[in-house]
C-alpha cells in the first residue's frame, strides 16, 4: 500500500470518527446529574413587521434560557402569525441558536395562515440543523410533524424517556362541527404503534413519556368543569378544545407510558391538573402584544430525572420569577 492510499484511508477514517462524534453529540441524553430539562415555548405569535412587540418575546426568551439552561426547547405552535414567516422565525430563534440549544417545533392552528402553507412551513423549519423536529408528513398519518424524540441515559446508550410530538391539526374538517381540529384515528393508531415499539424494546415495560401538541384535548375541558380536581396555575379562559373526542387520551391511558401532556392555544391558561393519573398541562403564553393576553409572558419548564417516574415543572417568567412549581404526581393527587 503506497503512502497516498494510507493517507486517504486515514482521512476517511478521520471523517467517519468526526461524523460519529457529531451524531452522538446531537442526541438527547440525561446529564451527569441525572436531570433533563425542557422549556416549552408556546403561542409567541411573532409578527416580523411589528418588531417592538415581537421583541418582548425574544427578550424574555433570552432571559429564561440563561436562567434555566435547558437541554431542549420545544415550540408548541402558533409560532409566527404575521408575514413574512421566515423573517419572523429567524427573529425568534436567534437566542436558541446563539446558545447552541437543540429545539423542536410543532404547528398550531395559525402557523399556515401567513405566506406559507402548512407543508411549506414544515419544510422551512427543517432547514435548521438544530431543529430535531421531523416536520414532514409521515406516510398514512395525518398532519405535518408527528415524531418521537428519544432521551437516552447519561452515557447515551439506552432510551430512558421519550417525547411524543404531534400535530393537533387546525380546524374542524366535518361539516356541522364547529371549532378546532383533533387527532385523527390514524394519528391515534400511529401513537399506539410507536408506544408498542418502545415498550417491546424495553422488555415489555412502557418507557416514561411526555406528549407535546398545540390544541388541548377534550379531557382538558372535562377537567375544567370538574371542581374536585386540584389545579395549580392560572385559569382565566374556557378550554378551546375540539368539540369531538377521537380517543387520544384513552389511548394514552391504556398504553400506560404518557405521564403528562403539554399544550398551548389558550393564552390566559397555564394550569396543570391530574386526570386519571396523567398530568394535563398548559404552557405559559410566550408571546407579546401581537395577540390577546392578560398575563406576563414566560415559559413552562419540565424537568425529568433519570430512572424516576414523574417530573418537576414550573413557570418561569424571567430570570428571577418562578411560579406554580409542582412535582408530579406527588403534588397533584
Predicted local distance difference test score (pLDDT) of residue 23: 35
Between CA 112 and CA 184 the distance in angstroms is 19
Tell me how far the alpha carbon of residue 265 is from its chain's centroid. 13
Domain shared by 98 and 208, yes or no: yes
At a CB cut-off of 8 Å and minimum separation 6, what does 255 contact?
Answer: 191, 192, 195, 196, 199, 206
Task: Report residue 302: phi and psi, to 5°.
Answer: -125, 130
Domain shared by 36 and 166, yes or no: yes
125 contacts 3 by C-beta, under 8 angstroms: no
Domain shared by 185 and 128, yes or no: yes
DSSP annotation of 66 reads: H
DSSP states of 125-167 as a string? HTT-TTB----SPPTT--SS--EEEEEE-TTS-SEEEEEEE--
Angle CA 189–166–284, to nearest 5: 140
Domain shared by 91 and 150, yes or no: yes
Reported as half-sphere exposure (CB side, CA atoms, 13 A), residue 102 has a value of: 16
pLDDT in tens, the chain (333 residues): 554 443 334 433 433 343 333 334 349 999 999 999 999 999 999 998 877 778 899 999 999 999 999 999 999 999 999 889 999 999 999 999 999 999 999 999 988 888 899 999 999 999 999 999 999 999 999 999 999 999 999 999 999 999 999 999 989 999 999 999 999 999 999 999 999 999 999 999 999 999 999 999 999 998 878 888 899 999 999 999 999 999 999 999 999 999 999 999 999 999 999 999 999 999 999 998 778 788 899 999 999 999 999 999 999 998 789 999 999 999 997
The number of folded domains in the chain is 2
Between CA 311 and CA 128 the distance in angstroms is 29
275 contacts 296 by C-beta, under 8 angstroms: no
Between CA 278 and CA 250 the distance in angstroms is 11
Domain shared by 1 and 61, yes or no: no
29 contacts 156 by C-beta, under 8 angstroms: yes
Task: Report residue 280: phi and psi, to 5°.
Answer: -105, 115
Predicted local distance difference test score (pLDDT) of residue 2: 54
Q: Which of 330, 274, 268, 279 is nearest to 302 (CA)?
A: 279
Domain shared by 181 and 319, yes or no: yes
Domain shared by 197 and 291, yes or no: yes
Beta bridge partners of 274: 279
Domain shared by 11 and 129, yes or no: no
Predicted local distance difference test score (pLDDT) of residue 9: 43
Domain shared by 138 and 175, yes or no: yes
End-to-end CA, the chain: 70
Residue 160: CATH number of its domain:
3.60.21.10
13 contacts 284 by C-beta, under 8 angstroms: no
Domain shared by 231 and 143, yes or no: yes
Between CA 145 and CA 284 the distance in angstroms is 22
User: The domain containing residue 11 runs over which residues?
Assistant: 1-29
Domain shared by 81 and 188, yes or no: yes
Between CA 278 and CA 262 the distance in angstroms is 11
pLDDT digits (tens, 9 = 90+) for 191-210: 999 999 999 999 999 999 99
At a CB cut-off of 8 Å and minimum separation 6, what does 288 contact?
Answer: 44, 45, 53, 54, 55, 56, 57, 297
Q: Residue 283 burial (CB < 10 Å; 0-12/13-18/19+)?
A: buried
Predicted local distance difference test score (pLDDT) of residue 110: 81
Domain shared by 99 and 20, yes or no: no
Amino acid at each position: 500500500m503506497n503512502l497516498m492510499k494510507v493517507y486517504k484511508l486515514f482521512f476517511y477514517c478521520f471523517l467517519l470518527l468526526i461524523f460519529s462524534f457529531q451524531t452522538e453529540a446531537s442526541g438527547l441524553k440525561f446529564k451527569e446529574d441525572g436531570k433533563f430539562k425542557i422549556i416549552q415555548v408556546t403561542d409567541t405569535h411573532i409578527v416580523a413587521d411589528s418588531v417592538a412587540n415581537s421583541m418582548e418575546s425574544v427578550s424574555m426568551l433570552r432571559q429564561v434560557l440563561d436562567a434555566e439552561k435547558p437541554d431542549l426547547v420545544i415550540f408548541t405552535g402558533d409560532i409566527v402569525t404575521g408575514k413574512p414567516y421566515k423573517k419572523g422565525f429567524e427573529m425568534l430563534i436567534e437566542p436558541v441558536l446563539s446558545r447552541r440549544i437543540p429545539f423542536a417545533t410543532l404547528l398550531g392552528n395559525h402557523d399556515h395562515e401567513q405566506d406559507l402553507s402548512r407543508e411549506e412551513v414544515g419544510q422551512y423549519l427543517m432547514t435548521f440543523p438544530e431543529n430535531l423536529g421531523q416536520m414532514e408528513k409521515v406516510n398514512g398519518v395525518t398532519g405535518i410533524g408527528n415524531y418521537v424524540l428519544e432521551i437516552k441515559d447519561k452515557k447515551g446508550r439506552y432510551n430512558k424517556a421519550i417525547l411524543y410530538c404531534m400535530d393537533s391539526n387546525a380546524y374542524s374538517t366535518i361539516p356541522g362541527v364547529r371549532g378546532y381540529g383533533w387527532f385523527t384515528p390514524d394519528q391515534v393508531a400511529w401513537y399506539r404503534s410507536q408506544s408498542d415499539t418502545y415498550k417491546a424494546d424495553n422488555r415489555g415495560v412502557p418507557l416514561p413519556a411526555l406528549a407535546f401538541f398545540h390544541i388541548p384535548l377534550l379531557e382538558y375541558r372535562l377537567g375544567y368543569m370538574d371542581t374536585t380536581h386540584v389545579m395549580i396555575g392560572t385559569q382565566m379562559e374556557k378550554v378551546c378544545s375540539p368539540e369531538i373526542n377521537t380517543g387520544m387520551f384513552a389511548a394514552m391511558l391504556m398504553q400506560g407510558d404518557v405521564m403528562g401532556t403539554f399544550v398551548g392555544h389558550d393564552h390566559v391558561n397555564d394550569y396543570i391538573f391530574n386526570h386519571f393519573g396523567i398530568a394535563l398541562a398548559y404552557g405559559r403564553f410566550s408571546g407579546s402584544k401581537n395577540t390577546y393576553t392578560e398575563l406576563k409572558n414566560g415559559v413552562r419548564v419540565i424537568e425529568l430525572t433519570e430512572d424516576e417516574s414523574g417530573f418537576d415543572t414550573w413557570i418561569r417568567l424571567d430570570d428571577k420569577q418562578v411560579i406554580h412549581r409542582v412535582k408530579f404526581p406527588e403534588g397533584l393527587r
